[in-house]
């Protein structure tokens, strides 16, 4: 008997001309959909674009579970939102991931939408308890393990989506499969960040290939350039200056165009999570509420997907490495 997966066309890394754009807000991307009865997890859903994602989806009726390392801060942020609760989650800790997943599954047999939103950027060289470089461990391996632990609930939903936040920063570096943790090569915080964001995109490619026969589809998202979030907390003044950002009376501002608001920054996440335009599609890198175009590897334009971030063969190799590093075999 032919597997259902062989009957599904690969989604082209090509814009759909969705009718949305960089100025679309999360509310506009939702387009008034009623999400009552849907169950959603948003990692880091208590700050920045994660909080806006939680707000929009919970206001639409979804039951949202926020995974957060700082429980007190997260509870304060979501306390006034409808249908949102917080569970402790540290993506750099395998035991914390297992505890979060176990607590969720005790009361939720299905999971309709998993949004792998949390992340860190441009940190000094730090390692987790296993010795893994922290950006790769948190941004990619943590979400890889989390999704595996929640896999049964995603399959049980029979029509679920996994949205993982990548970044235009994937253009900084591919994944160095022989040394992802910088044990032999010099550490560069931006190369490490780029590697982790490329891994987020490749994870979506690999996950979609495994998930589509179970009606689980996966998408990678570039939210856009956004000021005023915790993601910039490790950036030095020189980093900010090089990015065209400066402080005025303690507030971050930009000297270049194209900066998005929090509401606009959450739009592509919401669009990928709920839009009927993506029905039957998956395994693609998206931005500005559309599938991004594939651009040459040497493109100087921050927009678009680089080949190394969507290549199926690299995704397959990264998947095998991720299983090895997390000491898990993906469930059937």
- Residue 85: predicted pLDDT: 96
Residue 307 counted as domain residue: yes
The tens digit of pLDDT for each residue in 274-285 reads 999 999 999 999
What are residue 191's phi and psi, to 5 degrees?
-65, -40
The tens digit of pLDDT for each residue in 92-112 reads 999 999 999 999 999 999 999
- Residue 244: predicted pLDDT: 53
What are residue 290's phi and psi, to 5 degrees?
-160, 165
Catalytic residue among 132, 187, 193, 285: 193
The tens digit of pLDDT for each residue in 185-235 reads 999 999 999 999 999 999 999 999 999 999 999 999 999 988 655 555 555
- Residue 6: predicted pLDDT: 40
Whether 193 is catalytic = yes
Residue 257 counted as domain residue: no
The tens digit of pLDDT for each residue in 109-122 reads 999 999 999 999 99
Q: Which of 80, 104, 96, 177 is nearest to 138 (CA)?
A: 96
- Tell me the mean pLDDT in the region 161-183: 97
- Residue 39: predicted pLDDT: 98
Reduce the DSSP state of residue 70 to 3 states and report it: coil
DSSP structural state of residue 137 = I
- Residue 226: predicted pLDDT: 85
Residue 331: pLDDT over 70: yes
Instruction: List Cα–Cα distances, 101 to 25, 83, 208, 325, in angstroms.
Output: 30, 19, 21, 19
% of the chain surpassing 70 pLDDT? 88
Token pair 């590897």 is at which residue?
A: 297
Residue 21 counted as domain residue: yes
Residue 22: pLDDT over 80: yes
CA-CA distance, 271 to 282, in Å (whole number)? Answer: 13
- Residue 169: predicted pLDDT: 94
162 against 3, higher pLDDT: 162
Residue 252 counted as domain residue: no
Residue 241 counted as domain residue: no
Residue 243 counted as domain residue: no
CA-CA distance, 225 to 86, in Å (whole number)? Answer: 27
- Residue 109: predicted pLDDT: 97
- Residue 267: predicted pLDDT: 98
Residue 261: pLDDT over 80: yes
Q: Which residues pair with 259 in a beta bridge?
A: 225
- Residue 259: predicted pLDDT: 87
Find the distance separating the first CA and the last CA of the chain, reported in whole Å. 18
Token pair 């919970």 is at which residue?
A: 58
- Tell me the mean pLDDT in the region 70-78: 95
Q: How confident is the model at residue 1 (pLDDT cuts 50, 70, 90)?
A: very low
Q: How confident is the model at residue 69 (pLDDT cuts 50, 70, 90)?
A: very high
CATH number of the domain at 159, please.
3.40.50.720
- What residues contact 148, with CB distance under 8 A and at least 6 apart? 326, 328, 330, 331
Residue 12: pLDDT over 80: yes
Instruction: Show the domain range for 268.
Output: 4-226+262-326
- Token code pair at residue 183: 């044990």
What are residue 107's phi and psi, to 5 degrees?
-120, 0
- Token code pair at residue 146: 């989390």
Give the number of other CB atoms < 10 A from CB of residue 183: 12
- Residue 111: predicted pLDDT: 98
- Tell me the mean pLDDT in the region 248-259: 56
Reduce the DSSP state of residue 128 to 3 states and report it: coil
CA-CA distance, 85 to 66, in Å (whole number)? Answer: 6
- Residue 232: predicted pLDDT: 53
Beta strands in 38-166 (DSSP E): 39-43, 63-68, 84-88, 113-116, 160-165
- Token code pair at residue 210: 């495994």
Q: Compute the mean pLDDT over every residue in the chain, rounded to the nearest whole number.
A: 91
Residue 285 counted as domain residue: yes
CB of 113 within 8 A of CB of 160?
yes
- What residues contact 79, with CB distance under 8 A and at least 6 apart? none
Lowest mean pLDDT among 23-32, 151-160, 238-247: 238-247
Residue 240 counted as domain residue: no
Domains of the chain: total: 1
């Amino acid at each position: 008997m032919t597997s259902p997966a062989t009957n599904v066309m690969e989604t082209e890394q090509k814009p759909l001309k969705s009718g949305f754009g960089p100025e679309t807000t999360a509310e506009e991307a939702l387009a008034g959909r009623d999400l009552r009865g849907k169950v959603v997890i948003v990692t880091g859903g208590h700050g920045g674009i994660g909080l806006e994602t939680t707000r929009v989806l919970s206001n639409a009726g979804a039951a949202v579970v926020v995974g957060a390392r700082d429980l007190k801060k997260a509870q304060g942020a979501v306390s006034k939102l409808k249908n949102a609760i917080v569970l402790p989650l540290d993506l750099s800790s395998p035991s914390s991931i297992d505890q979060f997943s176990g607590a969720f599954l005790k009361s939720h047999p299905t999971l309709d939408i998993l949004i792998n939103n949390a992340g860190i950027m441009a940190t000094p060289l730090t390692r987790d308890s296993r010795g893994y470089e922290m950006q790769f461990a948190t941004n990619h391996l943590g979400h890889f393990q989390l999704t595996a632990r929640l896999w049964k609930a995603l399959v049980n939903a029979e029509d679920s989506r996994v949205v993982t936040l990548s970044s235009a920063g994937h253009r900084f570096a591919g994944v160095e499969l022989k040394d992802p943790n910088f044990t032999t090569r010099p550490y560069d915080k931006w190369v490490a960040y780029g590697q982790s964001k490329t891994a987020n995109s490749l994870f979506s490619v690999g996950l979609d290939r495994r998930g589509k026969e179970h009606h689980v589809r996966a998408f990678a998202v570039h939210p856009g350039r956004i000021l005023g979030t915790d993601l910039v907390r490790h950036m030095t003044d020189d980093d900010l200056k090089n990015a065209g950002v400066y402080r005025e009376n303690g507030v971050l501002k930009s000297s270049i165009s194209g900066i998005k608001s929090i509401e606009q920054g959450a739009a592509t996440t919401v669009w990928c999570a709920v839009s009927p335009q993506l029905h039957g599609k998956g395994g693609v890198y998206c931005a500005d509420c559309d599938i991004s175009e594939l651009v040459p590897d040497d493109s100087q334009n921050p927009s678009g997907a680089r080949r190394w971030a969507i290549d199926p063969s690299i995704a397959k190799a990264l998947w095998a490495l991720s299983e090895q590093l997390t000491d898990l075999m993906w469930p059937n």
